[in-house]
Structure 1
Amino acid sequence: MTSWNSVPLHVSYEVLGWFAFSCWSISFWPQVILNFRRKSVVGLNFDFVVLNLTKHTCYLIYNASLYFSSIIQKQYRDKYGQKEMIPVAANDVAFSVHAVLLTAISLFQIAIYDRGSQKISKIACGILLVAWGTAAVCFFVTLHNHHWLWLLSIFTGIQVCMTVIKYIPQAVMNYIRKSTDGWSIVNILLDFSGGVANYAQMAMQSFDQGSWVNFYGNIGKLLLSLVSVFFDILFMCQHYVLYPANKRKSEASPEPDNAKSFERPCSVNV
């Protein structure tokens, strides 16, 4: 296994990784706590939850497989170089496990708490069917050719697509309403901080090894952070620059319970 050349860079790498993990992880809790206190999930975007669960499940499969599987690690080094470090750290796996558990809890809350007339949209169901159908087909193909690293790239593509899809409806809704009222800017700030720390963590490893394979060899982590940071910046611009005078309390203009989940996503972040 490739070792670190610089102790300070190694320490910085670990600190940045766990900082990103903390920022991203904390942002999952407010929604779960709110649901528990209200004993209701009315106003929570069900499509967001199921798409988010698929995204984080795929990310967990990628991180855990690359971190624990010696076979996949060998395929990675055969492709990118024997001296390259595996670009997945323990905090990546920990974050993925935490994200799947918290999102699953939100989904469980949807099943047991008052949800009004809300339901998962047919569009979201179709997206999930295509995503997991593709993953299943690729899995059976991989059972034959044993190209496990290629299979992980499929899960990478799925989780990046889920990331893009889940954010777009919220950004469009903010534009239509000319307001970010009800959309938690604290979650966005935490997510942005985690994304920046994640890039810095990857840079520490690249500086130490004198190679940027860490970036293009871990395209899933790179694209995930890039997409998230892009939308975080967009949401911050909407909140602080474009619509600062239009923010009002959610209670003043509640969304109807029967609003279509995917077409008019509620302004609640998980």
Structure 2
Amino acid sequence: MSSSWNSVGLAILYQVLGWVAFAAWSFSFYPQVLLNYKRKSVVGLNFDFLVLNLTKHSSYLIYNAALFFSPFIQQQYHDKYGDKEMIPVAANDVAFSLHAVALTAFTVFQVFIYERGTQKVSKVCISISAIVWIAALVCLIIAWPKSDWLWLIDVFNSIQVGMTAIKYIPQAEEHNWLERWQYIT
């Protein structure tokens, strides 16, 4: 048995708000891309943020696409949480995560073609990203024999949540927010 909304009004509201969120969040990627294009420069753009953001959105895309498109994973979800529980991913979630990966990857492409000065990705960022992707590969190897795909995509969802917090640290450090916080507290 597949679950559904008990109210047409709630279903419509869910869809409308989901697509409004998609539009708002998607729009947020364009000012940086357009600024880079206009200036033909990425000087001042935090490369660590870009790499961490690409990891975050790639993980989110894997989670959303797998849960949205795979009947096998959806069945594992219903087996775990019950047939009455709705799949917690909508088309707008998949569209946003696909768009976010594409725009973040395009911004990374701009790093390679535009003036970047002496900026580079830090060793800490490279290490964090490598650890995350190696851990994801290990989890894939663990999930494969048991076909425990729901567990695996939950790992990717956890990665995206963790990366959401981590990706802002370079910007906070760069703008001395942490030093300012010490004076406030």
- TM class, shorter-chain normalised? over 0.9
2-structure distance, mates of 1:28, 1:175: 23
1:134 paired with 2:108, answer: no
Question: CA offsets, 1:200-239, max 9 Å, x none?
Answer: xxxxxxxxxxxxxxxxxxxxxxxxxxxxxxxxxxxxxxxx
1:135 is paired with a residue whose SS is helix
- State the AA in 1 paired with 2:153: L
Name the structure 2 match of 1:86: 87
1:73 is aligned with what amino acid? Answer: Q
Gaps of 5+ in 2: none
> 1: CA distance between counterparts of 2:177 and 2:73?
43
**Aligned 1:72-151 pairs, distance under 5 A:** 72-151=73-152
Which residue does the alignment assign to 2:41? 40
AA matched with 2:177: Y
Q: Partner amino acid for 1:147?
A: D
| Cα distance in structure 1, aligned partners of 2:167 and 2:36 | 20
In the TM superposition, 1:189-228 aligns within 5 A as: none
SS at match of 1:87: coil
Shift in Å, 1:168: 2.7
TM-score, normalised via structure 2 length: 0.93
What is the TM-score when the length of structure 1 is the normalising length?
A: 0.64
CA RMSD of aligned residues (A): 1.5
Give unmatched runs, 5+ long, in structure 1: 180-241, 243-270
CA distance in 2, matches of 1:125, 1:170: 16
Q: Which runs of 4+ in 1 moved over 6 A?
A: none
Identity of aligned residues (%): 61
CA distance in 1 between partners of 2:138 and 2:178 (Å): 39
1:13 corresponds in structure 2 to: 14
What is residue 177 of structure 2 aligned with on the other side? 175
Q: Aligned partners of 2:168 and 2:43: how far apart in 1?
A: 20
The number of residues matched between the two structures is 180
Aligned-residue offset at 1:176:
4.9
Code of the aligned partner of 2:60: Y
Does the residue aligned with 2:168 lie in a helix, a strand or coil?
A: helix
| CA shift digits 1:17-74 (9 cap, x unpaired) | 0111111100000000000111111100000001000000000000000000000000
